[in-house]
Structure 1
Amino acid sequence: MLIFLKRVLTQALVVTSFTISTVGWAASDILVGIYPGLSEYSTLEESFFAYPVAVTPIDDDGVLTPKIIKGKLAHSVFVGSDQDNTLEVYQSFYDALSNGGFELVFTCSNSECGGDLVYELVGKSSIASAYAEVRQSGPVNTDFHYLVARQKQADNPAWLSYFIYKYRGNKLYLAQDVVTPKAIATKQVDIKIAFDEIDQSGRVILDGLYFATDSDALQPTSSPALKDISAYLKRHPKRQFFVVGHTDSQGSFSHNQSLSERRANAVVSALVTDYGVPSTMLAARGVGPLSPKASNLSEAGRSHNRRVELVPAN
């Protein structure tokens, strides 16, 4: 049986017909479940976070393509004993969510997840330390269950995910994440690309181009940079350029090479179709992780390596 707690009476998610007890925890706005016998170990709240959920297993190349939910994150870790059974905990949440107005988006257990799912989802994020107890001391191979659910019939449906894990007979840990989608408030930022670097170093990084995670879909916030790039190109109509995509080294080489080329093509397509740049001026190429600007051993370095450059062809 699950006992459900309500943190703030802003949004009521009735997940089960079991008794609901109300407590006055601040900052979260959703009904969440506590499994009897587990105690709260740690909590974390982010007012806005790009939270990844798995919707498929990790593939044979070790690549995970998660769905990114952007919004308010309420993260809690609960701990039990070495006598608690991960399957019983998992099945209790599975049943309660199935019967309580949630769509079960994805579940997996142990090796069917395709690898160390906790690490692939959050191990490289800014809140990785909040999951240290869940990951414990090694890859997730045994006694591991993962569940993602999405609220049905709501104007702004919340997402719930659960990592339920016991490593080599140690205590059971459960990480429960509740994400309430919301848009982040943004302000217009002027992007000034240093085009004079082309004649000095033979290339220029096209700052201000933004893509969806692991995708070649250009985001609307890329418009100021695309306008700036098109203006530069139109001032040099007799020149030709390569638009070169780069990635970090996470994942397989074939995946990264393909992604880098698709992103370069997306930039060329936008410049030609939306900004009237002659197609004869541009050729798209992708080099994946082959030309890094910084070390791929840190997220800061990887962020510098994910880029698009303009390189003169003549």
Structure 2
Amino acid sequence: MKAAAGLLALGLAAAGPARAEFLPLMPGPAEVTARHEAAFDSYVLALGPWRPTGQQTRRLEGRIDQSAWHLPGYEQGTLALLADLRDQLAKAGFRVLFECETDTCGGFDFRFAMDLIPEPEMHVDLGDFRYLAAEQPQEGRFLAMVVSRSPRAGWVHLTEVARQAAPDPAVPDSAAAVAPGQTPAEGQARPAAKPGTPAATPEGADGAAIGARLVAEGRVVLEGLVFASGADRLDAGPDADLAALAGWLKQNDWAQVVVVGHTDTTGSLAANVALSKRRAEAVRARLIARHGAPEARIGAEGAGWLAPRASNATPEGRARNRRVEVVLTSTRVGGP
């Protein structure tokens, strides 16, 4: 029953550069519906159930590989599916850090606090899912796994983080979010720029323009940053507004800013405040790692869905509300 999945895993291993990655043997026919990859990014690993008072997590930085798997015709339950994959993790040297099922995880709020590839590539039944977090300490690798079901099918989502130091900020990372059938323009990594090459920005996205709006209005929406509903992972870019903001901050050492994340109204307020803060932290991390922005003068906070800029009653409005803004917190222009 594992032959087809085994051949698929071998194909994935041969498709990219050699690196340590957990490649599961699925219990039956399986297909990868989407893969998201980032050469360097941040990820928040859940290590406890979601509660209104908070959740135990661990923030990781390094190479991130995500994959969503569809198991057509799978008829066993999520317990059996997770048990099979847990055994494979143990053989690969991983140890379990935390494990839960639907209600003990925290149900709806736990699921929407997770960074998952969205529907239709990854399906999560809110009444039947299981989660597992594991660590491979010898190699500094962490893995988060979600398994769920739909009628006559199983679903598996894997996120693996290989910890590493930040890359040279002069060279952009090779973050990519690649789904089957995408072209390089839609999701593949951009070629790395040579050190010293100025970032390409569209008309109107230069640092002086963003700085002038910050001084005049106090806040600016950072356009072009794409988040799926329920996720805190940035797409590959380009990051025109981030490059411009970083340039302005480097030229104005008096300026203090806070990056503020906002969400749509999918899920509870507490879960969305946490999600929006992770989005802000992801943007802050990219400002620093990719664009060399001054770390000490940039904060990150989350507002959840408390400050919409459009109606949440339409898909277009919800997409506009999933945004990140930068707020100028300095009380004097040109001084402390």
Q: Does 1:54 align with 2:37?
A: no
- Tell me the equivalent position of 1:205: 220
**Counterpart-to-counterpart distance in 1, 2:295 and 2:130:** 46
Q: Is the 8 A contact 2:214 2:328 kept in 1?
A: no
Where does the alignment leave 5 or more consecutive residues of structure 1 unmatched? Answer: 9-21, 215-220, 234-241, 276-283
**Counterpart-to-counterpart distance in 2, 1:100 and 1:31:** 8
Q: What is the deviation of 1:61?
A: 6.2
Residue 79 of structure 1, aligned match among 72, 75, 81: 72
- Tell me the equivalent position of 1:226: 249
Q: What is the deviation of 1:313?
A: 7.4
**Counterpart-to-counterpart distance in 2, 1:205 and 1:42:** 38
Aligned pairs for 1:171-182 (under 5 A) are 171-177=152-158, 179=160, 181=162
**Counterpart-to-counterpart distance in 2, 1:34 and 1:202:** 54
Residue 165 of structure 1, aligned match among 118, 136, 148: 148
**Counterpart-to-counterpart distance in 1, 2:295 and 2:159:** 40
Aligned length: 253
Q: Is the 8 A contact 2:65 2:161 kept in 1?
A: yes
- Tell me the equivalent position of 1:98: 90
Q: 1:117-163, CA deviations, whole angstroms, 9 ceiling, x for partnerless residues?
A: 4444246x6x54310xx32xxx5224x22122233312xx4444332
**Counterpart-to-counterpart distance in 1, 2:159 and 2:7:** 12
Aligned pairs for 1:123-138 (under 5 A) are 127-131=118-122, 134-135=123-124
Q: Is the 8 A contact 1:54 1:64 kept in 2?
A: yes
Q: What is the deviation of 1:7?
A: 6.3
Q: What TM-score does the superposition give when structure 2 sets the normalisation length?
A: 0.54
- Tell me the equivalent position of 1:34: 25
Q: What TM-score does the superposition give when structure 1 sets the normalisation length?
A: 0.57
Q: Is the 8 A contact 2:135 2:142 kept in 1?
A: yes
Q: Does 1:298 align with 2:318?
A: yes
Q: Does 1:150 align with 2:135?
A: yes
Q: Does 1:121 align with 2:118?
A: no
- Tell me the equivalent position of 2:127: 141
Residue 207 of structure 2, aligned match among 192, 205, 217: 192
Q: 1:65-122, CA deviations, whole angstroms, 9 ceiling, x for partnerless residues?
A: 674664343433223433x132222223223323431122321112011023444424
Root mean square deviation, CA, Å: 5.1
**Counterpart-to-counterpart distance in 1, 2:142 and 2:320:** 28
Summarize the Cα distance change of 1:88–1:64 in structure 2 as closer, same or farther, 3 Å threshold.
Answer: same
Summarize the Cα distance change of 1:119–1:192 in structure 2 as closer, same or farther, 3 Å threshold.
Answer: same
**Counterpart-to-counterpart distance in 2, 1:106 and 1:88:** 17
What is the identity percentage for the equivalent residue pairs of Structure 1 and Structure 2? 17
More relative contact order in 1 or in 2 (CA 8 Å, sep 6+)? Answer: 2
Q: What is the deviation of 1:229?
A: 3.5
**Counterpart-to-counterpart distance in 2, 1:159 and 1:5:** 22
Summarize the Cα distance change of 1:245–1:46 in structure 2 as closer, same or farther, 3 Å threshold.
Answer: closer
